[in-house]
Structure 1
Amino acid sequence: MSPELLIDKYYPEPNELKHILLTHSHSVADKALQMAEKHPELKLDKEFIYEAAMLHDIGIFLTDADSIYCFGDKPYICHGYLGADLVRAEGFPQHALVCERHTGAGLSLDRIIADNLPVPHREMVPVSLEEQIICFADKFYSKTHLDKEKTVEKARKSLERYGEAGLQRFDRWCELFL
């Protein structure tokens, strides 16, 4: 099943939320693919990058984020693992890992426990280069300002609340992918 068909399954109506999801996901996919093209030495799977980038936020409709038309009952930080559950159930376990591991610059088990985050207690940090490049590309786009790409400085600033380890991952990704 293509990412578009999977999105249509969970977002069947053309509405503001679907527009936000598709616009944001296309921006993330395009940026990740541009970086992948720039680094052929990394031998990244571009088809997977496109598909997983399109699906990385599929779980947002299950969360409570009125400003982006999400009226679910879970905190927004849960959208990654909730989306992973959906995508995994559809038979795409590798794509599900991208959903689960893209929040912030990834959420370590230590951070999840220390901050008492309402997510499963497991490591949720991007592992493969494809997971990392999608997570990194995602940091440059907000769902509330769809038409603007953030600068490296603004993207980095948005990660400060996730702690020093996330900032270090982001800085490493700047060196690796830009």
Structure 2
Amino acid sequence: MNPLALLEKYYPPGSQGHAILLEHSLAVAAKAEAIARRLGPQLVDADFVREAALLHDIGICYTSAPELGCNGALPYLAHGYKGRELLEAEGLPRHALVCERHIGVGLTAEEITSQELPVPPRDMLPLSVEEQIVTYADLFFSKDPAAGHRERQAERVRESLARFGAEKVAVFDGWHRRFAG
């Protein structure tokens, strides 16, 4: 499976969306793969982590995010579950789950319902270590071209998660202890 070719199927090379998504995805993949290799093959499938990290945001093409070169109709939050649908249709169910479960540190069905979020009301929590690694690595990189693609410091990640509750920060802190090396 060639994740870069799959990205090109949905994001034409040379387009703004392709450039932004590729730069972001390569940064996330590099961080995620380094974590996976450090943890070792007995604990983590590093090849899968790299592929999933490259594809985790493939669903943004369905969203209305013109600053990212995406002119779909859905709100940005929907990119996770739409990515899942897209990758399931491509015959990649394991990769698809990473797409759906990588939003923030994950979403519960209760949060989705109580906050009336524009996604299906089901648990979307990263469960496998591979899902957790990709989700963790993604938190360090913005797709916003104005912000650049520099890696954020852990304290900045904590600050951005704090507005969603202390429990989100606690999940991140647990991952940070495990994955920061």
TM class by shorter chain equals over 0.9
Number of residues of Structure 1 aligned to a counterpart in Structure 2: 178
Q: Could you tell me how far 1:41 is from its partner in structure 2?
A: 7.7
| Matching residue of 2:168 | 166
Q: Distance in 2 between the 1:163 and 1:84 partners?
A: 26
| Matching residue of 1:93 | 93
Q: Distance in 1 between the 2:32 and 2:160 partners?
A: 19
Percent same amino acid among aligned pairs? Answer: 47
Q: Distance in 2 between the 1:139 and 1:71 partners?
A: 23
State TM-score, norm by structure 1.
0.95
| Matching residue of 2:137 | 137
Q: Could you tell me how far 1:96 is from its partner in structure 2?
A: 0.3
State TM-score, norm by structure 2.
0.93
Q: One-letter code of the match for 2:76?
A: Y
| Matching residue of 1:78 | 78
Q: One-letter code of the match for 2:161?
A: L
| Matching residue of 1:105 | 105
Q: Could you tell me how far 1:71 is from its partner in structure 2?
A: 1.2
Q: Distance in 2 between the 1:41 and 1:6 partners?
A: 25
Alignment map for 1:5-154 (pairs within 5 Å): 5-40=5-40, 43-144=43-144, 145-154=147-156
Q: One-letter code of the match for 1:68?
A: L
Q: Distance in 2 between the 1:162 and 1:78 partners?
A: 18
Q: Could you tell me how far 1:42 is from its partner in structure 2?
A: 6.0
Q: Could you tell me how far 1:168 is from its partner in structure 2?
A: 1.5
Gaps of 5+ in 1: none
CA RMSD, aligned part only?
Answer: 1.3
Change (3 A) 1:135 1:42: farther
Deviations 1:122-149 (A, max 9, x none): 1001000000000000000000134311
Q: Could you tell me how far 1:160 is from its partner in structure 2?
A: 2.4
Q: Distance in 1 between the 2:112 and 2:30 partners?
A: 30
Q: Distance in 1 between the 2:108 and 2:170 partners?
A: 13
Q: Is the 8 A contact 2:143 2:149 kept in 1?
A: no
Deviations 1:30-82 (A, max 9, x none): 00111122222862100000000000000101101122222111000000000
Gaps of 5+ in 2: none
Deviations 1:82-122 (A, max 9, x none): 01100011000000000000001111111111111010011
